Structure 1
Amino acid sequence: MTISRPGVVDLLGVLAYAELTAFLRMAQDASVLAPSLTDRAALGDVAATEYGHFRLVRDRIADLGADPEEAMAPFADALDAWHEQTQPGDWYEALVKAYVGTGLAGDFYRVAARRVDEETQKLVDQALADEARSELVVERVRKALEEDPRLGGRLALWARRLVGEALSQAHRVAAARPELAELLVDGDDLAAVGRMFAQLTEEHGKRMSALGLTPGG
């Protein structure tokens, strides 16, 4: 199968590793931080969905004639560093990370996928589907905020940290993989960069509002 443009395997590689690590981290958070068996099972279900998405992307990489491990390897350090720097301290931080942090990363992948072949675009959209995660997090966090409004300030600051660390690692990846960066914007098109970040900010604001949190912290 012919790869339609440079950067496609990079896009699928970073997405595959993101889905794999999301599965592993959510499973760990479900086991360690969930306050009840019901919560453990709920986040475990979301983790299982992430693993299913990983398999879809991994298989697509193989269909394109590339090696999935080699495609993922360039992104392991950056994504591992993000997870290490944003280890949640409790259940609600874990939920916000699963929704806000993972959601921001997904926005980057969607932007890049607009400039690849239609089949890959559809696959990326499928792999980034997050209805179950959204429902779980919004329900749990909103209920917690109703019971303890003071929690909102801490979680808003946590979300800001997640976003800051994610942007830092995104810059690192873009600098190391220029063909992937070119799927986001053409060269030094500052206007396009501005539009992209405006869109990312808007989507982040929507997620924060859905949680009942203020984007500014």
Structure 2
Amino acid sequence: MTKGPSVNPGVIDLLGLLAYAELGSFFRLAGDAVLAPTLRGKGRLAALAATEQAHHQVLHDRLEELGVDPEEAMAPFVEPLDAWQARTEPKTWLESLVKTYVADGIAGDFYRRVAELADDETRILVEGVLAETGRAEFVAETVREALAEDPVLAGRLSLWARRLVGEALGQAQAVAVQRPRLAALLGEGSDRPGTEGADATGLGDLAAVSRMFASLTDRHAARLEAMGLTA
């Protein structure tokens, strides 16, 4: 396929990154559904996995509409995202749920912030893909119920959540730095009034990336509180 001349390369990177992330979420949620201790949990997680697969297909189709090979667009993100998944392999089903809520929540905030700097069609598409599907409520309720039965779990899960935040932010920064086109999209946003624009060295782009990531922890405390955990 040949990419249309008007397509921002940073947008292609964003869509490719999100498409692979959604595919990974499908597999994780499907695996969590298998391990769920109740039929209710199995059904809820299976439904959420199906939604992630549908989101992946929407992004896959959009890349094809733009004249881009979806597999080529996703390829640069396979190794870093797979490596991150391996580094944050949960030991228990509850740890897996916390990972889904915390790490996917931060990643979703990142995708939304980048999409805000893209064209309106891309922004609307990304917002639709990331629209809440009931996953947060299910995870928060399940973790709270587990803590009510065994309060000792709170300390371990809180430490796990803090580790996930650091890993997620570090991985997202690494991906942005390794993909200058994605960092450039953020740099373009930094040209808005009151911010520093990108410069020829690319340092402005990286500064914009750093500023954005520093703000992604704003909602983390609220996520922990929803699950009954502490920061």
TM over 0.5: yes
Which of 15, 35, 40 is the aligned partner of 1:12? 15
Asked whether the equivalents of residues 173 and 209 of structure 2 are also in contact (C-alpha less than 8 Å), the reply is no
Whole-Å separation in 1 of the counterparts to 2:207 and 2:65: 35
Question: Structure 1 pair 2/136, CA: closer, same or farther in 2 (3 Å)?
Answer: farther
Q: Which amino acid aligns with 1:105?
A: A
Q: What's 2:151 paired with? A: 149
* Secondary structure at 1:131 match in 2: coil
How far 1:11 sits from its partner (Å)? Answer: 0.2
Once the two structures are superposed, residues 118-143 of structure 1 have per-residue CA deviations (whole angstroms, 9 ceiling, x without a partner) of 01101101111223111110110111
Q: What's 1:45 paired with? A: 47
Which of 68, 87, 90 is the aligned partner of 1:85? 87
Whole-Å separation in 2 of the counterparts to 1:80 and 1:194: 23
- Using the size of structure 1 for normalisation, the TM-score is 0.91
1:1-217 aligned within 5 A: 3-31=6-34, 33-185=35-187, 186=190, 187=198, 188-189=203-204, 192-193=208-209, 195-215=211-231
Q: Which runs of 5+ in 2 are unaligned?
A: 191-197
Equivalenced residue count is: 214
Question: Structure 1 pair 3/138, CA: closer, same or farther in 2 (3 Å)?
Answer: farther
Q: Identity percentage over the alignment?
A: 57
Asked whether the equivalents of residues 13 and 71 of structure 1 are also in contact (C-alpha less than 8 Å), the reply is yes
Q: Which amino acid aligns with 1:73?
A: A
Whole-Å separation in 2 of the counterparts to 1:194 and 1:156: 25
Structure with larger Rg? 2
Question: Structure 1 pair 3/133, CA: closer, same or farther in 2 (3 Å)?
Answer: farther
- Using the size of structure 2 for normalisation, the TM-score is 0.86
What value does the CA root-mean-square deviation take over the aligned residues? 1.8
Question: Structure 1 pair 206/143, CA: closer, same or farther in 2 (3 Å)?
Answer: same
Once the two structures are superposed, residues 178-204 of structure 1 have per-residue CA deviations (whole angstroms, 9 ceiling, x without a partner) of 110122344434874564234311122
Asked whether the equivalents of residues 176 and 209 of structure 2 are also in contact (C-alpha less than 8 Å), the reply is no
Q: Which amino acid aligns with 2:33?
A: A
Once the two structures are superposed, residues 67-109 of structure 1 have per-residue CA deviations (whole angstroms, 9 ceiling, x without a partner) of 0000000000011111111121112111111111111111111
Whole-Å separation in 1 of the counterparts to 2:213 and 2:31: 31
Whole-Å separation in 2 of the counterparts to 1:2 and 1:92: 46
Asked whether the equivalents of residues 113 and 183 of structure 1 are also in contact (C-alpha less than 8 Å), the reply is no
Q: Which runs of 5+ in 1 are unaligned?
A: none
Q: Which amino acid aligns with 2:149?
A: E
* Secondary structure at 2:134 match in 1: helix
